[in-house]
Amino acid sequence: MATNDMSGEVTQILGSVVDIRFPPEAVPETYYAVEIPTEGHAPLVVEVTARQFVWQFEYPASGISSPELHVPAGSPVQLELVAQDVIHSLWVPAFRLKQDALPHTSTFLSFTATTPGEFPIVCAELCGPGHAVMRSRVVVHEPEDFARWLEEQD
Ligand SMILES: [Cu+2]
């Protein structure tokens, strides 16, 4: 059984964690669901706290907190990230965006989501035994639905 071809096996292993297989012709439109940079009106600021092994998203202008990132389509968003313990990394594969979250130091990530839908968030920095389950999602709402979601959180 002499074979050096383990590519299928590797793909299977990687695919069970997160699907990283995207041949160019198969990339759906949602992989381009953001515009960068964002200019024009003031961004929606969301403070992102990372800790073993959860994400927390706070909306300082509204005084609310969520385990998921909710944003309106078509408006610029600025994430301000910080970690409470070790280094984490916020990765939204569908947006092709990733930013480390560091202890004691803020980092920033700006984008405008263009397509309503739900997109996985994955921690992309090995951060401890619960790293693999440190997941959340971005929920991109139509603007009026986002306003309703904000009201429902009070
Ligand atoms: Cu993490």
- Amino acid 116: pLDDT: 93
Dist. CA 139 → ligand 1 center (Å): 20
- Whole-prediction pTM value? 0.77
Q: In sequence order, what are the beta bridge partners of 117?
A: 140
Dihedral sign computed on CA atoms, order 50, 52, 54, 60: negative
141: helix, strand or coil: strand
Question: How many whole angstroms from 134 Cα to the centroid of ligand 1?
Answer: 6
How far is the centre of ligand 1, averaged over its atoms, from the C-alpha of 89 (Å)?
Answer: 6
pLDDT for 27? 47
What are the helix and strand counts (H, E) for the chain? 2, 11
Residue 14 has a pLDDT of 44
Residue 118 vs residues 27, 33, 84, 126: alpha-carbon distances, Å = 16, 11, 26, 24
> What residue spans define the domains of the chain?
33-152
pLDDT score of 150 more than 50: yes
Q: How far is the CA of 42 from the centre of ligand 1 (A)?
A: 29
Report the share of the chain in percent with pLDDT over 70.
74
User: How confident is the model over 67-94, as a mean pLDDT?
Assistant: 95
The alpha carbon of 77 and the centre of ligand 1 are apart by a number of angstroms equal to 22
The candidate with the shortest Cα–Cα distance to 53, out of 101, 99, 16, is: 101
Contact between 67 and 134 under an 8 Å Cβ cutoff? The reply is: no
Residues near ligand 1 ion, CB 5 Å cutoff? 88, 123, 127, 134
Range of weakest confidence among 12-21, 28-37, 62-71? 12-21
Vertex 96 angle, CA 53 and 143, to 5° = 85
Q: How far is the CA of 121 from the centre of ligand 1 (A)?
A: 11
Burial (CB count <10 Å: 0-12, 13-18, 19+), residue 104:
exposed
Average pLDDT, the chain: 83
**pLDDT surpassing 60 at residue 126:** yes
Give the least confident one: 17-21, 88-92, 149-153. 17-21
- What are the residue ranges of helices labelled H in the chain? 7-17, 143-152
> How much distance in Å is there from the Cα of 2 to the middle of ligand 1?
39
Ligand 1 centroid to 135 CA: how many Å?
8
Rounded CA-CA distance 94/123 in Å is: 14
Q: What superfamily would CATH give domain 33-152?
A: Cupredoxins -  blue copper proteins (2.60.40.420)
**Per-residue pLDDT tens for 95-117?**
989 999 999 999 999 888 988 99
* pLDDT at position 154: 73
